[in-house]
Structure 1
């Protein structure tokens, strides 16, 4: 019998509901030793919920699990970890005020006699892991001082160090560079030789050809298919995911834009060299570059989030922006890459998140007009197709795509003319991507302007009218001809070929 035919974990008729909404229904699945099972589906399909049940974060409502042939019902994350199951979260689970070394060994510290910490052994092992993963960090670096991409790699390093029998990867490449992705895939192949079973959640179908043994597709909480990757195709997978054909070619357009909306001259901060660009009314300008190239820093400098010098013009009139508050006054919105910590108040409802910056609109002189507020929110919930039980549902319980729509609804209601969009569809499935692209197009067709940062090259090609390429904090190329916006041209400029 081949190792990849040996089941280490078996799920039988697993079901789960939240707020009377069924999230998983009758899930039957085998996880095999030495195999990468890629799990894919639209946001809200139940992928993360299923994995959280395996990892002891959620309890199942019905069904059973067998781990190494024995009944398995973890009630805590620690219990699952002690059994040999690790979970690399899309939402980082690190302690910001601790070092890289302290995070990697948290809960598994090496000690000497009388309980003293064996710092030298932990530092040496941490350095070995850093070298193996080819990371540009040090054991004593504070997590808070690292970029999101570096933090994600520390999360991965932690799981590799722990020597789990099963590792669950939840969108591990959504915020890391191509180089780090290649290193991760190399580590995954090494783990396969050690007979480690892996569940890999991703929306990036192009990654599957490098690592997938089997693919399981979820739709609306049910498995619609499990097949060997070599026996399927991306088209088949998408069809099982969404139940329809998804065609992004319709987003390409040949419109000529002539009315300048925003012009930036020699904007400079401690992160970026002087850069100038302009974007027209109705246009989508994309920014490409590797992680750390300075793309987000350009947006932050213009938005007033970082201290910067330079000139900014809106409708050919010079303006002053020294803070995000100034930017909002000039009708500029910013949808950040990290929607969970910087874009939303997760403990608040959909209604509260959408109307938070416009509450004065509902003030009738002595109290809030709740009826009017609810009508505005309901109109957005309908228009943006925000899938939820009702508008009082907490945003932390929504899928990534629906959370992104809540933030977008907030800015649309606030009446912005210019939207800065950092990683618009990071961690969002193909079906939700299509809806986000539709909303972006509607915004520009109604006279809005978008400046977008994306690490997803197909996304830049699909939705951008022009693309500026950044490298090492500098603007290195601008591609204005849509036919020249190709993966090859973008990548050549990004890496300096």
Structure 2
């Protein structure tokens, strides 16, 4: 079989999208070379190829996520050497990623608001029914107010599809869209794909499954090793011919001889289920290498990581007859399981540690005597292992970060083997490794099996599995669809099992869970506010039982005034925390505002001077926020480092302006700032209205949703067209402006220029944000809860003063509240995540 089969004549139609000479390199790796493809309106164009053939890279170029090294993309006759995601959307190019590109901390409706241009959707106030209509078209019954992070993968995939179909699409790209779907959803999706194609949309359908191509596609293009091997009518080729075009090569790597069969019990898995895999049963005998094959995203990675204790699972797994408890990676290691992750940099090695230290990390039990590490034995064994793997380095004391990728992978293998495990789990063990290093890794894995270890190898390279493994399990949609043994372990058979799989995922979600997942979770999201309100009431009652004056008008007014100052600052802190940052400079900035006003708001000052002080304070706040944003987004400082720099700078300016406490503020101005109606200061009403307005903007205004999106996942937010750099800078400017209002409230309480008065607000504002349940990683937060957090802190302070508990009690009570809140919120988040995933 050769590549000389006649192309499909449909390619002669006028294309809307033309790819010409596209090349893409990542360093020394060539992902695409000279790719030409025509995409025609009204057709479903299937794109096939092995893992790593370049399909997703090509689609990322077309959708604007990547800029090609060479070549161009012509859309509707206009040539482009590179597109941005925003430009691709404007040109009508929509993509449904294999991994749903949804912002987890935003609701379904909010994701749709960000993704769909205003001209194609109703206002945010009428968005709910419109979203429900779009979801229903693809068979999704999720409530629009459900957070996307609370949904299972199948529902998220349907939302991705609905999002793409809701745009004015000219080219719809679907990347393995059916992998997480049950059969009825697949049927509904195919109907929708046919209908949009019939309406004139050009559909690019990426898949590995030949039955889907035959059912859906008008034409197909095959990629192999980053090159186009031809475009064909799928009905004119047999399955074997398509498979040969996809694979197109024979085993040409050097592998060690295979083993002589099992020599022990090894691993036995029964009815194991978890994220992305269902009811999986298999065994791996001691002395055997078993491979896991399958199209990326079909559950094989999740299965391997579940066995490593890294993701939750249910079912039974036994190793050498002992039932395993795989609640954590520590459990797996203790049971004799060694895991080799695919992500060397992120999970595999510690770059600042030496080869010896990295290699010995998993095998301290072999080196420790009476609680002390035997350095000579450690050095000897790590050197022997390093030599056996031919790690190219001057010595085992060389830092791993100075090694090549292949040598780093050998260190990962050395750590696994030095632990003398019963089971080795190897995820992409030769990814990014040259041919020579591959042969050495293969030899060591086979030697480990011959020594009695059970080994599971997950690889996207079918050729590698053919040459290395005694058996191969082919996984499709979370289930084992084929078990190949002996001479049947061939690349062709693996490819045939992958592309011929017709089964779909089973829907294991019960009705009760569906109801929870699809119902609005407003009560759950308001839980921090309820908890804080309850804590405030409880503490106030306790204090009142000891001193009835605690609820007196004077004390209530005092608590509310201090809460107002902290409340403004904490609301500002919340803005930057929601982007995933933090602002340490709010305390000194509060003091700077106090110092500035002490120069302008003195007794007898003119109206112009009074307003002049406000203008200077506003300019100072905007400048501080812009500097913080510029350092973080422009110069790539961490948020802590950037705001620590401004913290020091602002405090220095304040001390320069007021080396000593001086500059008394006019009492009339103090009366205006502190003006109250009964026990309630007018300023408190203002800060409450500000919190309500801020909450409204964060939920209903696109800039507010964009801010939350940036904190939730900046990479995905940029794909939605969000300017994350500008958004982060705006958040810091907003934080500084709100802090300025807090500084003005501090003027009313202090009445004199004291540069040190504001410093404590940094810690207090962060504490208020934390106890309000705001996610420090960004993406979520409630302004009302933050205000209640500020109120709680001031109630604690007043309670300690009223009951004469001393300063230490103030810190102990605040610390206890923070710990309890953190444990409670983290526990609730983990419980919710486990329920949905």
Alignment TM-score, normalising by the size of structure 1? 0.65
Deviations 1:264-320 (A, max 9, x none): 899999xx999999876559799xxxx999x97999599485498x98754234665
Are the equivalent residues in 2 in contact too, given 1:331–1:416 (CA < 8 A)?
no
Aligned to 1:39: 47
**Corresponding position of 1:25:** 33
State the alpha-carbon separation in 1 of the partners of residues 129 and 452 from structure 2: 52
Which ranges in structure 2 are unaligned for 5 or more consecutive residues?
1-8, 252-259, 362-377, 383-394, 414-425, 487-496, 509-837
Tell me the SS of whatever aligns to 1:96: coil
Root mean square deviation, CA, Å: 5.6
CA contact (8 A) 1:99 1:143 kept: yes
Counterpart selection for 1:147 from 139, 142, 152 = 152
Task: Check the 8 A contact 1:332/1:418 in 2, yes or no.
Answer: no
Q: Tell me the CA shift for residue 235 of structure 1.
A: 2.1
Q: 1:455 aligns with which of 477, 484, 496?
A: 477
Deviation per CA, 1:80-128: give whole Å up to 9, x if none. Answer: 10111112222332100011121122143659xxxx9533x32112111
Contact 2:355/2:411 (8 A) holds in 1: no
Q: 2:246 aligns with which of 225, 241, 250?
A: 241
Describe the SS at the equivalent of 1:50.
helix
**Does structure 2 conserve the Cα–Cα contact (< 8 Å) formed by 1:259 and 1:280?**
yes
Shift of 1:32: 0.3
Counterpart selection for 2:234 from 221, 229, 237: 229
Alpha-carbon separation, structure 1, partners of 2:454 and 2:319: 10
**Equivalent-residue separation in structure 2 for 1:385 and 1:105 (angstroms):** 42
Q: How does 1:343-422 map to 2 (within 5 A)?
A: 344=343, 359-361=358-360, 364=379, 368-370=397-399, 377=408, 386=430, 388=432, 417=453
Q: Does the CA contact (< 8 Å) of 1:332 and 1:417 recur in 2?
A: no
- Partners of 1:263 and 1:313 within 8 A in 2: yes
**What are the residue-to-residue correspondences of 1:40-189 with 2, within 5 Å?**
40-108=48-116, 117-119=123-125, 121-189=126-194
In structure 2, the CA distance between the partners of 1:327 and 1:128, relative to structure 1 (3 Å rule), is same
Q: When you count strand as a share of all residues, which structure comes out higher?
A: 1
Change (3 A) 1:419 1:184: farther
CA contact (8 A) 1:333 1:418 kept: no
Aligned equivalent of 1:433: 462
Structure 1 or 2, whichever has the larger Rg, is 2
Q: Is the 8 A contact 2:39 2:202 kept in 1?
A: yes
1:132 CA displacement: 1.4
Answer whether contact 2:223 2:229 (CA < 8 A) is retained. yes
* Compared CA separation, residues 39 and 349, structure 1 to 2 (3 A): farther
Contact 2:284 2:456 in 1 (8 A): no
Counterpart Cα distance in 2 of 1:80 and 1:380: 43
8 Å Cα contact 2:116/2:163 also seen in 1 = no
Cα 1:237–1:157 shift into 2, 3 Å: same
1:266-281 equivalences under 5 Å are 281=286
Per-residue Cα deviation, 1:248-279 (whole angstroms, up to 9, x for no partner): xxxxxxx998954456899999xx99999987
Q: What is the number of equivalent residue pairs in this alignment?
A: 422
2: CA distance, partners of 1:71 / 1:31 = 14
Q: Which stretch shows the higher mean deviation, 356-365 or 13-22? A: 356-365
- More displaced stretch, 158-167 vs 343-352: 343-352
Q: Measure the CA separation in 1 of the matches of 2:433 and 2:282.
A: 43
Q: Residues 108, 231 of structure 1: CA spacing in aligned structure 2 closer, same or farther, 3 A cutoff?
A: same
CA shift, 1:33, in A, is: 0.4
Q: Tell me the SS of whatever aligns to 1:461.
A: strand
Look up the match of 1:476. Answer: none
- Cα distance change on mapping 1:6 and 1:313 into 2, 3 Å: closer
Distance 1:83 1:346, change over 3 A: farther
Residues 105 and 148 in structure 2, CA contact (< 8 A), matched pair in contact too: yes
8 Å contact kept, 1:92–1:151: yes
Per the alignment, do residues 50 and 356 of structure 1 end up closer, same or farther by CA in structure 2, a change over 3 Å counting?
farther
Q: 1:276 to 1:3 in 2, by over 3 A?
A: closer
- Does the 8 Å contact 2:307/2:332 carry over to 1? no
Partner of residue 223, structure 2: 218
Aligned residues of 1:328 and 1:416 also touching (Cα < 8 A)? no
Tell me, yes or no, if the aligned pair for 2:157 and 2:177 is still in contact at 8 Å: yes
Alpha carbons 2:25, 2:69 under 8 Å: kept: yes
- Given the two structures, how large is their TM-score scaled by the length of structure 2? 0.41
Per-residue deviation at 1:78? 0.8
Q: Decide whether the 8 Å contact of 1:110 with 1:118 is kept in 2.
A: no
1:357 shift after superposition: 12
Deviations 1:389-440 (A, max 9, x none): 769xxxxxxxxxx9xx99x99xx89x9956788xx57xx5xxx23534654x
Residues 139-178 of structure 1: per-residue CA shift (max 9 Å, x gap): 1221111122222222111111113100112222233333
Per the alignment, in what secondary structure is the counterpart of residue 241 of structure 1? helix
- Asked if structure 2 preserves the Cα contact closer than 8 Å seen for 1:104 and 1:158, the reply is yes
**Residue among 208, 220, 235 paired with 1:203:** 208
- More helix, by proportion: 2
